[in-house]
Chains A and B, each alone.
Chain A
């Protein structure tokens, strides 16, 4: 895969994360003493978690104005992070590894999203991945995380794309969703919150879509836990060097935000809706269907390496070459 192709894949991935929305920059605290903190996030649960975390009062001691931007353009994000315009960002783990492997001075703080992928089917049976045989499946973007997880699981079962089932990729996830709602696809593979949004839309259209959790399928077919390290928070190294205590406070704030989101799905829905084009109902449903668990980077490393390693076998460009080295995992305990 050429560098430009990798760029294309990454751009598509980031667009998925950012959805259809326009760039949004929202100050989450007033002016205060301390240096400003500029963070970025895709829409969905990472935004809810970071928006909540940045409101944490424990941060006031270290940071002044806190700003949370929503991603719009992947090149813009890379420019933000590489140029220091953004110091902290929530991101899918493969994008984080990609940035690191491409020499951007970032490190992983934590992984907090461990299960967001699901299958929606217009009709049954849908007891397992085997039931996808003979169906027409829509997947947003070839080589993206939903695609690679699906293809990995199909591979475990010895099912062949093109022979046992048909996969169609689209130029945007919104197209995949519309094809499914128009009943021109039997099945779609989507991450949250798109998965909940599509399910609710399908119910509105009088359909009763069936769901299959891909994390559970992963556990069934690999014998590993039903927890896939899919998204977390990265920060620029200079932020950690300048404010090690501040970054520790940030880590605590993210942990508390994850716990709060899990305990208050309805309020989390309202918070997500206030900062994005998603409805509160969708964000709340996404919270209830996502496995959220705060693990700091060193603790997440074994699972992350196993997960990214498995997917990179299908597409090395997915993480920008190879597994990131130890420098990627920020250890705040030292």
Chain B
């Protein structure tokens, strides 16, 4: 492998393997729509693959522990070295990790004919390697400031373990695979809220400066902490009593706290900067989704999943695209000038999310075509447009000649 992976001329790893975000962002973006195929195809009776688990559980697994976990791996393996001052994983070791992720995908697609323990073992190995590398780094020195993300990753890994235990029928108690997937997705929401605290100041300042407005943007830490704390409360309530009116009220409180946080963001010309807009839209979806989860728990007439789609497709989808875009530029040594293809990509994501959330509420008679198929196609367009704009950056060396 080393002959292929080393750029002989410069003695450095092949650019694609120079930093973890490169292969993982590329693969995650390519895989995002593919993981929808069996799900949407099955719903429309067009694709019928033998899966070892219920179709919806398979779909949730691949979105959370396939697509999002690759994005998360790319993000953390890239951010932790700069936070904690540890050496990044690159070259052959990175290739091994990528191969492990790919092996996980192959086993899940073949889950109908492979032993469940093999599928679970290979997929857990990936998250275990990630944790074994990231946690020690986040436990020492500067890394401790970001330990909360390490803790969330640990919980995410444990929820993946719980998913397999539920699949194998070894999980005591009443938690089923779908409830565990809900928990994992909720943990991602907390990760979004926590990560945004780290990113939004830098991004808001840059956007204000570029849009010609001077002066610092004031973001109150207490309001940020409140938003994260109430969101955590919702995650606990949603695990213990999903759909209960009390959980509904907690969700509404969490929505209010996120909206309060959003109100401090620069809502003016600066919002025209795509990198700030991406982040903001992810957060707007988070707020809207929590409000819908709250309302559907309190009102009988709306289906309970409406808010979940806003959270999963809207908030998580947009947050992943935001991370892909911002980290993809910063770590390839480029200015924060997003490629033009990202505008239509974001448009597709917003429209897809709006259809996924809105069609079951407003036009349920078109649920399968407008509420599932159209959002799936828009999801495909969004992430493949990202690839159109970024694939070149991800596979070529940094223009400034620096490593990574």
Task: List residues of A whose CB falls within 8 A of some B CB.
Answer: 170, 174-179, 181-184, 197, 200-201, 203-206, 277-282
- Knowing that A182-B364, A182-B367 are A-B contacts, what are 14 other residue pairs whose CB atoms are under 8 Å apart, sorted by A's residue number? A178-B369, A178-B371, A179-B364, A179-B365, A181-B43, A181-B367, A181-B368, A182-B360, A183-B360, A201-B45, A203-B54, A204-B54, A204-B55, A279-B48
Q: Report chain A residues within 8 Å CB of B178.
A: 206
Is there contact, CB below 8 Å, between A182 and B42? Answer: no
Q: Report chain A residues within 8 Å CB of B367.
A: 178-179, 181-182
Is there contact, CB below 8 Å, between A281 and B48? Answer: yes
Name A277's contact: one of B45, B54, B55, B57 (CB within 8 Å).
B45
Q: List 14 A-B contacts (CB under 8 A).
A: A177-B368, A178-B364, A178-B366, A179-B365, A181-B367, A182-B303, A183-B304, A183-B360, A201-B43, A204-B42, A204-B54, A204-B55, A205-B43, A282-B45
Tell me the complex Cα distance, A280–B46, Å: 11
Q: Which residues of chain B (323-370) have a CB below 8 Å from chain A?
A: 359-360, 364-369
Is there contact, CB below 8 Å, between A184 and B54? Answer: no
Name A205's contact: one of B48, B56, B365, B369 (CB within 8 Å).
B56
Tell me the complex Cα distance, A184–B359, Å: 11
Is there contact, CB below 8 Å, between B365 and A178? Answer: yes
Is there contact, CB below 8 Å, between A184 and B360? Answer: yes
Is there contact, CB below 8 Å, between B54 and A206? Answer: yes
Q: Give the residue name and chain of the B residue nearest to A200 (CB).
A: B45
Is B133 at the interface (CB under 8 A from chain A)?
Answer: no
Could you mark each residue 31-61 of chain B with 1 if its beta carbon is under 8 Å from any beta carbon of chain A, else 0? Answer: 0000000010011010010000011110000
Tell me the complex Cα distance, A234–B90, Å: 72
Q: Give the residue name and chain of the B residue nearest to A122 (CB).
A: B303
Tell me the complex Cα distance, A181–B360, Å: 9
Tell me the complex Cα distance, A201–B39, Å: 10
Name B45's contact: one of A178, A203, A279 (CB within 8 Å).
A279
The main secondary structure of chain B at its interface with chain A is helix
Is there contact, CB below 8 Å, between A183 and B56? Answer: no
Is B305 at the interface (CB under 8 A from chain A)?
Answer: yes
Tell me the complex Cα distance, A203–B57, Å: 11
- For A177, A201, A282, which residue has the most chain B Cβ atoms within 10 angstroms? A201
Count of B interface residues, CB-CB < 8 Å = 22
Q: Report chain A residues within 8 Å CB of B42.
A: 204
B206 to chain A, nearest CB (A): 42
B180 to chain A, nearest CB (A): 13
Tell me the complex Cα distance, A146–B43, Å: 24
A283 to chain B, nearest CB (A): 10
A281 to chain B, nearest CB (A): 6
Is there contact, CB below 8 Å, between A182 and B45? Answer: no
Q: Report chain B residues within 8 Å CB of A183.
A: 303-305, 360
Tell me the complex Cα distance, A175–B42, Å: 18
Tell me the complex Cα distance, A201–B366, Å: 15
Q: Report chain A residues within 8 Å CB of B359.
A: 182
Q: Give the residue name and chain of the A residue nearest to B304 (CB).
A: A183
Is there contact, CB below 8 Å, between A170 and B365? Answer: yes
Q: Report chain B residues within 8 Å CB of A201.
A: 43, 45, 368
B292 to chain A, nearest CB (A): 14
Q: Report chain B residues within 8 Å CB of A197.
A: 45
Is there contact, CB below 8 Å, between B371 and A204? Answer: no
Q: Report chain B residues within 8 Å CB of A200.
A: 45
- For B48, B178, B304, B364, which residue has the most chain A Cβ atoms within 10 angstroms? B364
Q: Report chain A residues within 8 Å CB of B360.
A: 182-184
B376 to chain A, nearest CB (A): 14
Could you mark each residue 360-402 of chain B with 1 if its beta carbon is under 8 Å from any beta carbon of chain A, else 0? Answer: 1000111111010000000000000000000000000000000
Is there contact, CB below 8 Å, between B43 and A182? Answer: no
Q: Give the residue name and chain of the A residue nearest to B177 (CB).
A: A206
A190 to chain B, nearest CB (A): 15
- For B305, B367, B371, which residue has the most chain A Cβ atoms within 10 angstroms? B367
Tell me the complex Cα distance, A95–B336, Å: 67
Q: Report chain B residues within 8 Å CB of A175.
A: 365-366
- For A177, A178, A179, which residue has the most chain B Cβ atoms within 10 angstroms? A178
Task: Give me the 10 closest cross-chain CB pairs, A-B, nearest first.
Answer: A182-B364, A182-B367, A175-B365, A184-B364, A178-B367, A183-B303, A204-B55, A182-B360, A206-B56, A279-B45
Name B303's contact: one of A176, A178, A184, A203 (CB within 8 Å).
A184
Q: Give the residue name and chain of the A residue nearest to B365 (CB).
A: A175
- For A174, A197, A200, A206, which residue has the most chain B Cβ atoms within 10 angstroms? A206
